[in-house]
A and B are shown apart, each in its own frame.
Chain A
Amino acid sequence: KQEVTQIPAALSVPEGENLVLNCSFTDSAIYNLQWFRQDPGKGLTSLLLIQSSQREQTSGRLNASLDKSSGRSTLYIAASQPGDSATYLCAVRPGSARQLTFGSGTQLTVLP
């Protein structure tokens, strides 16, 4: 059974810092990995999707990497801003199913 772990569970940084969020998964047989952002009480906003054949994806200040063989992904946020404060979720699509398996998320607070 696929399990997804996100470390740390919570992170607080001053504005302007570069930071890395980590995601690990137990079964490397995945088709893709998706990073989401969730604001309190709200739905999920898709940030980046990495197909299993890709190593990284970039969107603005965000860069996500994927190392399928070691079961790891990182989300790099450059020059963090208070508006980046949210919970960041990592989800993988297992090789044999349609559904996403989610981690518990990292709650990020960027202090002004």
Chain B
Amino acid sequence: ETGVTQTPRHLVMGMTNKKSLKCEQHLGHNAMYWYKQSAKKPLELMFVYSLEERVENNSVPSRFSPECPNSSHLFLHLHTLQPEDSALYLCASSQDGTGMSSYNEQFFGPGTRLTVL
């Protein structure tokens, strides 16, 4: 595997289900991101992990719970979702330095298409 991989590629779940999305990066990067892409809306950042610590959370509902056990893996745990949460969920990674001026290019995975019934 190369680059950034995501599983599953497609997921259909009911509002009472609990599921998890998985992301793995094979680039040796130290920062990982979850983005949400809804129909006809720009991509929105959900979570950022840098050096395995969550550094930003843009007021995402608590029904989304991220987990980053190491620098190569990122999970998004889902529970009691709403139909409006149906979207393409994209994972990305980058190699960041210690200062803001060293933020570098982000590489994206293929995404998980989530449908909440």
A positions within 8 Å CB-CB of B = 4, 31-32, 34, 36, 41-46, 49, 89, 91, 93, 95-105
Contacts and interface: CB of A to CB of B under 8 A. Distances in A.
A57 to B, nearest CB: 11
A7 to B, nearest CB: 14
A102 B42 contact: yes
A41 B39 CA distance: 11
Interface residues of B, number: 30
Contacts of B100: 31, 95-96, 98
B45 A42 contact: no
B55 A42 contact: no
A49 B33 contact: no
A43 B106 contact: no
A104 B56 CA distance: 23
A105 B38 CA distance: 13
Contacts of A104: 40-42
B108 A32 contact: no
B98 interface: no
A46 B48 contact: no
A33 B43 CA distance: 15
Contacts of B4: 43
B56 A4 contact: no
A98 B107 contact: no
B62 interface: no
Interface in B7-51: 31, 33, 40-43, 45, 48, 50
Given A31-B100, A32-B103, A98-B31, A43 B45 contact: no
Contacts of A31: 100-101, 103
A87 to B, nearest CB: 11
Contacts of B2: none
Given A31-B100, A49-B105, 17 more contacts: A31-B103, A32-B103, A32-B104, A41-B88, A43-B4, A46-B106, A49-B104, A89-B43, A91-B43, A93-B103, A97-B56, A98-B96, A98-B100, A99-B58, A100-B106, A102-B43, A103-B42
